[in-house]
Amino acid sequence: MGTIVRTTLMSTHSIFKDAEVLPGGAVRADRGPGHTITGDLRLHNFYSSIFRNSRLLRVWLPPGYDAGENQERRYPVFYLNDGQNLFDSATSFIGVEWGADETADRLIREGTIPPMIVVGIDNAQGNRTREYLPYTTREVPLKSVSGKKYPRFLSREVMPFIESTYRVMSGPEHTALGGSSLGALVTLYTAMAEPGVFGRVLLESPSLWVSDRKVLAHTRGHKVWPQRVFLAIGTNETERERSRQQVIDDVLYLEKNLRIAGLGEDRLRVVVDPGARHSEGEWARRLPAAMTFLFAE
């Protein structure tokens, strides 16, 4: 089984040229015609010494973040891969976004989840697959991959920057990580490689097939898991019927290993979504339930 390489080409130079610079070197995301942003979304041009490249970090701030009465308040933080696809249809894959800004805003205002910061970590565009693959695999013609560096990229570069720039709460109980497809694969890999860093994890349509399902083998016997995990798959993820059943079976096998490790219904939510495909639209539709399970108190 292969994977779709999801990229959105952009010029960060044009985004930051002549823009008002906010604290931490951010600029406000474009809210003009064609953009679909709700709330306060700030963009940072972020250089990684680990990957030796730059990308955008998209930081969505909750309602009232800058209010005077909240100046001492700190917030949980939700890191999500493929940041291009989260907040704005103008930057997302085939123009379909997750609606993470609208969903978070609504759930916060309803009191369903606490106010939080959502950080979208843009993929590396042409190097997305290389950075999200922890292992080489015959289905993807790459001689070398760098996904094993991704946990260090998050914990040693992205997180310290966000923690020094924004008022975020520390500790795994206040720190979440999520992704879809290959972004979910590297999320799962990171949760195991950096135990105790992320206490809440979202795995949408994870690409567990990579390298003869090596990541599934690594989950057997693994003991230290996040406090809450939301795991979802559609029943129509691929074109071939046999492959559709295989991706469901892979998710159910992961569920079995997590249950064996002690994750009961209060810690693990598994969704097999009838008719759902492998797309941003499906992940957007399931996001309210995912965020509610992961963050509701």
Compute how many other C-beta atoms are within 10 angstroms of the C-beta atom of residue 72: 6
Q: Which two tokens stand for residue 161?
A: 């920057």
pLDDT at 242: 81
Tell me the pTM: 0.94
- Residue with token string 């002549």: 18
Q: Is residue 114 situated within a structural domain?
A: yes
Say what the pLDDT of residue 263 is.
98
Residue 4 included in any domain = no
- Residue 141 falls inside a structural domain: yes
* Domains in the chain, number: 1
**Of residues 89, 45, 84, 39, the one with CA closest to residue 64:** 39
Q: Are 113 and 296 in contact (CB under 8 A)?
A: yes
Scanning the chain, the segments in alpha helix (DSSP H) are: 12-16, 100-110, 128-132, 150-152, 159-165, 182-193, 210-219, 241-260, 280-295
C-alpha–C-alpha distance, residues 48 and 161, integer Å:
11
Establish if 3 belongs to a structural domain: no
What is the three-state SS of 45-86? EEEECCCCEEEEEEEEECCCCCCHHHCCCCECEEEEECHHHC
Question: Would you say residue 178 lies in a domain?
Answer: yes
DSSP 33: T
CB 154 within 8 A of CB 194: yes
- The 10s digit of each residue's pLDDT in 27-71 is 999 888 999 999 999 999 999 999 999 999 999 999 999 999 999
Q: Summarize pLDDT for 90-126 with one digit per residue, the tens.
A: 999 889 999 999 999 999 999 999 999 999 999 999 9
Taking alpha carbons only, the member of 154, 159, 98 closest to residue 131 is 154
Query: What are the phi and psi torsion angles at 235 (to 5°)?
Result: -90, 0
Q: Which CATH number do you get for residue 16?
A: 3.40.50.1820
Asked if residue 6 is part of any domain, the answer here is no
Kindly report which listed range (93-97, 162-166, 173-177, 290-294) carries the lowest average pLDDT score. Answer: 93-97
Residues with Cβ < 8 Å from 50, sequence gap 6 or more? 149, 152, 153, 156, 157
Query: Whole-angstrom Cα distance, residue 25 to residue 43?
Result: 8
Higher pLDDT, 240 or 131: 131
131: containing domain: 12-295
Q: Looking at the domain assignment, is residue 5 inside a domain?
A: no
What Rg, from alpha-carbon coordinates, does the chain have? 18
- With residues binned 3-state (H G I as helix, E B as strand, rest as coil), the percentages for the chain, rounded to 5, are 40, 20, 40
Task: Evaluate whether residue 2 is within a structural domain.
Answer: no
Q: What is the pLDDT of residue 223?
A: 94
For residues 297 and 289, give the distance between their C-alpha atoms in angstroms, rounded to a whole number.
Answer: 14
Q: Residue 213 — left, alpha, or beta (φ > 0 → left; ψ -120 to 50 → alpha)?
A: left
Where b means 16+ CB within 10 Å and e means fewer, 82-101 reads bbbbbbbbbbbbeeebbbbb
